[in-house]
């Protein structure tokens, strides 16, 4: 049987800065993903963002025009839930995050206590509802020895109007005050690839990671042995490319089918 594509069976797409910026689609994103799906290339989505559930991300993608099943989405909240189930089952989590984080943890059967009383784990992701009180509760738990987990340490995230402080800025505040270091489950940690392999049978040698950040997306691809494509529509610029070289550099996702063939 002929392969759907000469080089790849699967394409894993980062979201912000790769397929869209905030609410604005990047030109060519819909057409590229649709053409790959039509040809039989598996398309998966990998984002460090932990503000939504896996289903919530799939719904957002579908509303933007990317028909998506929840099981094709690997987002920070889901990766974190799977890590806790695997390594720290039975423990209770104090979430520093938006409602989507707590909901994803609960959907996976993980105990969540927003009061922070007697929690064993502090789990941090981007939180646009952050208050000093929440930060304080997390700080107290960390000083008492709670496990410190984070979806990612992205310092910023791109929006249509420029950058905003990322989850890493919140993690940094807690690292500084508690003098603790978190375990980070999102990219470049290759953990999500293990989940993709188990759930979709992805072969790393025939999969490409497409993203806009060298330190997360391209580093993730290297850590998993995947091919990598950097798009120049988000965080990293061509001049930023150093020792960590992507296999492909695309002005934008619109060039994917022209350059990767």
* DSSP single-letter state for residue 26: P
Q: Which is nearer to Mg ion, 80 or 105 (CB)?
A: 80
Catalytic residue among 16, 154, 212, 217: 16
Q: Which of residues 210-229 bind Mg ion (CB under 5 A)?
A: 212
Query: Which stretch, 16-24, 28-36, 140-148, 180-188, contacts Mg ion (CB under 5 A)?
Result: 16-24
Q: Reduced to 3 states, what is the DSSP secondary structure of residue 157?
A: strand
- Measured from the CB of residue 29, what is the shortest distance to Mg ion in angstroms? 12
Is 243 marked active-site?
Answer: no
Q: Which is nearer to Mg ion, 178 or 233 (CB)?
A: 233
Q: Cβ closer to Mg ion: 10 or 26? A: 26
To which H or E segment does residue 25 belong? strand 24-25
- The continuous run of DSSP H or E covering 241 comes out as none
Helices (H) and strands (E) in the chain, counts: 9, 15
The SS3 call for residue 207 is: strand
Which pair of structure tokens corresponds to residue 42? 């598996």
Active-site residue (options: 14, 120, 154, 217): 14
Position of minimal CB gap to Mg ion: 17
CB atoms within 10 A of CB 76: 33
CA dist., res. 32 & res. 18, Å (int) = 12
Q: Which stretch binds Mg ion (CB under 5 A): 116-124, 162-170, 230-238, 249-257?
A: 230-238
Of the two residues 14 and 104, which places its CB atom closer to Mg ion in the complex? 14
14 versus 120: smaller Cβ distance to Mg ion: 14
With b for 16 or more beta-carbon neighbours within 10 A and e for fewer, the 222-238 pattern comes to: bebebbbbbbbbbbbee
First to last CA, the chain: 18
Q: Which residue in the set 11, 13, 14, 46 belongs to the binding site for Mg ion (CB under 5 A)? A: 14
Q: What is the nearest approach in angstroms of Mg ion to the Cβ of residue 231?
A: 9
- Residue 113 known to be catalytic: no
Given 16, 72, 98, 127, the residue binding Mg ion (CB under 5 A): 16
- Asked if 17 is part of the footprint of Mg ion (rule: CB under 5 A), the reply reads yes
Beta carbons of 113 and 134 less than 8 angstroms apart: no
Footprint of Mg ion (CB under 5 A): 14, 16-17, 212, 234
Q: Which residues are catalytic?
A: 14, 16
């Amino acid at each position: 049987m002929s392969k759907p594509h000469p080089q790849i069976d699967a394409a894993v797409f980062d979201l912000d800065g790769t397929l869209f910026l905030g609410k604005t689609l990047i030109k060519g994103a819909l057409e590229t993903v649709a053409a790959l799906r039509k040809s039989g290339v598996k398309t998966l989505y990998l984002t460090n963002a932990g503000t939504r559930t896996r289903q919530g991300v799939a719904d957002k993608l579908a509303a933007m025009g990317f028909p998506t099943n929840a099981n094709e989405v690997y987002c920070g909240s889901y990766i974190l839930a799977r890590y806790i189930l695997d390594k720290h089952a039975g423990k209770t989590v104090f979430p520093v995050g938006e409602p989507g984080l707590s909901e994803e943890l609960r959907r996976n059967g993980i105990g969540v206590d927003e009061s922070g009383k007697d929690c064993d784990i502090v789990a941090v992701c981007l939180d646009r509802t952050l208050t000093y009180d929440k930060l304080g509760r997390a700080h107290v738990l960390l000083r008492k020895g709670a496990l410190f987990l984070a979806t990612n340490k992205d310092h910023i995230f791109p929006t249509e109007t420029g950058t905003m402080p990322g989850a890493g800025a919140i993690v940094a505040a807690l690292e500084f005050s508690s003098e603790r270091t978190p375990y980070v489950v999102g990219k470049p940690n290759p953990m999500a690839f293990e989940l993709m392999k188990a759930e979709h049978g992805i072969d790393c040698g025939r999969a490409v990671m497409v993203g806009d950040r060298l330190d997360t997306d391209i580093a993730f691809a290297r850590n998993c042995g995947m091919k990598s494509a950097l798009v120049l529509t988000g965080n990293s610029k061509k001049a930023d490319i150093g020792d960590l070289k992507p296999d492909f550099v695309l002005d934008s996702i619109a060039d994917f089918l022209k350059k990767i063939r």
